[in-house]
A = this chain, B = another copy of it.
Amino acid sequence: MKISARNVLKGTVKEISVGAINTEVTIEIAPGIEIVSIITKSSAERLDLTEGKEAYVAIKSSDVLVGVD
């Protein structure tokens, strides 16, 4: 499925931390550049996520804040 999220970036699952309802997934999208996602525990199981697996992060452009010093 191709989706409307403007930011779809390929990477590798570095770390998975499971909670009561949510699961925290860390994905490396470039050397030293990691993005952390929180998804539901059942979604993580449905996607069969494991450390080292290839995965995408998908982020809507309206969910990206911009900051400056």
Which of A's residues lie within 8 Å of B, judged by CB?
A: 1-9, 17, 19-25, 27, 29-31, 33, 35-40, 42-44, 46-49, 53-69
Contacts and interface: CB of A to CB of B under 8 A. Distances in A.
Identical subunits present: 6
Contacts of A23: 21
A5 B27 CA distance: 16
A35 B55 contact: no
Contacts of A3: 1, 3, 47, 58, 65-67
A53 B67 contact: no
Contacts of A20: 19-22
Contacts of A46: 2, 4
